[in-house]
Amino acid sequence: MSQAAEPMQTVHAVTQTPYKWGFSTDIEMELAPKGLNADIIRLISARKEEPEWLLEWRLKAFAAWQAMAEPHWAHVAHPPIDYQDLHYYAAPKRKPGPASLAEVDPALLATYEKLGIPLKERAILAGVEPAEGEGAPVAVDAVFDSVSVATTFRATLAKAGVIFCPISEAVREHPDLVRKYLGSVVPQGDNFYAALNSAVFTDGSFVYVPPGVRCPMELSTYFRINARNTGQFERTLIIADVGSYVSYLEGCTAPQRDENQLHAAVVELIALDDAQIKYSTVQNWYPGDAEGRGGIYNFVTKRGACRGARSKISWTQVETGSAITWKYPSCILQGDDSVGEFYSVAVTTNRQQADTGTKMIHIGRNTRSTIVSKGISAGRSDNTYRGLVRIMPKAAGARNHTQCDSLLIGDRCGAHTVPYIESRNPTARVEHEATTSKIAEDQLFYCRQRGLSEEDAVNLIVNGFCKDVLKELPMEFAVEAQKLLAVSLEGSVG
């Protein structure tokens, strides 16, 4: 195994860029004490000038969290997390970053190059400090540029009536919407990490698409540039009103630097009658080194409610990063004839652990769900698909199809499939197919005989394996995702 070639281990877990939205860089705040208690939550709420109801909401979440225990049912292992040893209200630590791209680790830059990340974005991603005065490095342009680009996008969106802003801003500007929907899909006490997030979430995105509006752009470029440092307890709320459509892209294919080891985000989606939400994620946080040191713990709760009739929520994810991924984007199919989809590629290499899947809860009549999960394990990693399909008594005519495939590279990795099926309506139809395969020696030899290098052969085979999922991604993202798979698996064969 030529694991020295693995590029991700060169990504250091530090971040330098300051928060963009609504945060002062007050020294006092950066020194906010470690630990979590009601006073800290009051401080957070006060600093963000939140209304009383939101403070009460947070405190309720905190009370729920205190009564809960960290879950241990997932097929992952990590040292205990001391939740009192974290800062819950501190802007990310402002350690001095590299002053220009010339000071950034060449291996990291090589990775950006391979991924085809635009030059200006590379500096932002690498955490280059914007310099002041003359001889400003590329980062300054990039930052200025991104701000202006963002502004342009916001104007276009506003014209269509789409609200797209930081959730902290939405709390101030659109309190009725936030109050109505926040926690309506993932309640404060839903699970340990969601409760923690509800108590202390710092920021995230808010989207509202008014009735009948088709959001005029993929909410992607904007996000890619702006949402890098929404913090470790990110909160996203997306509402698609009657007959509307929105496609939202989260994340970035470039390896992202981040000093926070624990990430516990919450994403809530709400689709009303005939509305559609397409939510795509490419997650590539620091996975730790070859020995499993460092790396992000990604414990995220993502859930969508198909509240209206004929509504549709589609989750697509490409997960290549993080030391541990604990993630089950789910759909609650309440409206009659509503549709839930989950398309997932999860790649684990070295010592990474991923326990991911989905939940499809069929409540309304003739609700349909599709699950396509592709797990790829290499090195000494562990990759688990965990999925629940629950058909409630009133969900007459409900249908689910699950396709769950695992691909193993090498013989020291693991793939596990844990499907749960609960059907309480006799008219429902639930299908589950699962396969596990290895990249076969004869496939590699066949490709090499035709002239492909071993790595190109692996990429081709892996991309073929993932095709059903990658085709669900918006075009420009799909191309990046393909490259990302190649970079992630570099050096995992041979």
Q: Where does this chain bind other proteins (CB under 8 A)?
A: 440-443, 445-454, 456, 460-461, 463-468
User: Smallest Cα–Cα separation from 284: which of 311, 251, 310, 315?
Assistant: 251
Q: How far is the CB of 466 from other proteins (least distance, A)?
A: 7
Contacts of 400 (CB under 8 A, 6+ apart): 360, 362, 368, 369, 370, 371, 389, 391, 428, 429, 430, 431
Check if the beta carbon of residue 191 is closer than 8 Å to that of residue 71.
Answer: yes
Q: How far is the CB of 16 from other proteins (least distance, A)?
A: 39
User: Smallest Cα–Cα separation from 318: which of 376, 267, 403?
Assistant: 376
Q: What whole-number distance in Å separates Cα of residue 321 and Cα of residue 347?
A: 8
Q: How far is the CB of 452 from other proteins (least distance, A)?
A: 5
Q: How far is the CB of 405 from other proteins (least distance, A)?
A: 9
Closer residue to other proteins in complex, CB, 225/481: 481
Closer residue to other proteins in complex, CB, 176/442: 442
Closer residue to other proteins in complex, CB, 148/453: 453
- Contacts of 150-157 with CB under 8 Å at 24 or more apart are 150/222, 150/225, 150/226, 153/217, 153/221, 153/222, 154/222, 156/216, 156/217, 157/215, 157/216, 157/217
Q: What whole-number distance in Å separates Cα of residue 141 and Cα of residue 139?
A: 5
Closer residue to other proteins in complex, CB, 232/377: 377
DSSP-derived pairing of the beta strands 163-166 and 205-209:
antiparallel
E strand or H helix at 222, and its extent?
A: helix 221-226
Q: How far is the CB of 457 from other proteins (least distance, A)?
A: 9
Closer residue to other proteins in complex, CB, 33/494: 494
Closer residue to other proteins in complex, CB, 370/443: 443
- Beta strand spans in 429-490 (E): 429-438
Closer residue to other proteins in complex, CB, 72/450: 450
Q: How far is the CB of 446 from other proteins (least distance, A)?
A: 4
Closer residue to other proteins in complex, CB, 420/445: 445
Q: How far is the CB of 440 from other proteins (least distance, A)?
A: 8
User: Smallest Cα–Cα separation from 359: which of 428, 308, 305, 283?
Assistant: 305
Closer residue to other proteins in complex, CB, 159/450: 450
Q: How far is the CB of 463 from other proteins (least distance, A)?
A: 7
Q: How far is the CB of 465 from other proteins (least distance, A)?
A: 6
Contacts of 69 (CB under 8 A, 6+ apart): 192
Q: How far is the CB of 438 from other proteins (least distance, A)?
A: 13
Check if the beta carbon of residue 111 is closer than 8 Å to that of residue 487.
Answer: yes
What are the structure tokens assigned to 305, written together? 């409610």
Q: What whole-number distance in Å separates Cα of residue 406 and Cα of residue 310?
A: 32
Closer residue to other proteins in complex, CB, 131/452: 452
Q: How far is the CB of 449 from other proteins (least distance, A)?
A: 5
Which DSSP category does 4 fall into? Answer: G
**Length of the chain as a residue count:** 494
E strand or H helix at 467, and its extent?
A: helix 454-470
Q: How far is the CB of 443 from other proteins (least distance, A)?
A: 5
Indicate the SS3 state at residue 87: strand
How does DSSP assign 275-318, residue by residue? -EEEEEEEE-B----TT--S--EEEEEEEEEE-STT-EEEEEEE
How does DSSP assign 18-42, residue by residue? PP-SS----HHHHTPPBS--HHHHH
Q: How far is the CB of 458 from other proteins (least distance, A)?
A: 12
User: Smallest Cα–Cα separation from 326: which of 304, 351, 358?
Assistant: 358
Amino acid at 116: G
Closer residue to other proteins in complex, CB, 99/460: 460
Closer residue to other proteins in complex, CB, 305/457: 457
Closer residue to other proteins in complex, CB, 215/462: 462
Indicate the SS3 state at residue 139: helix
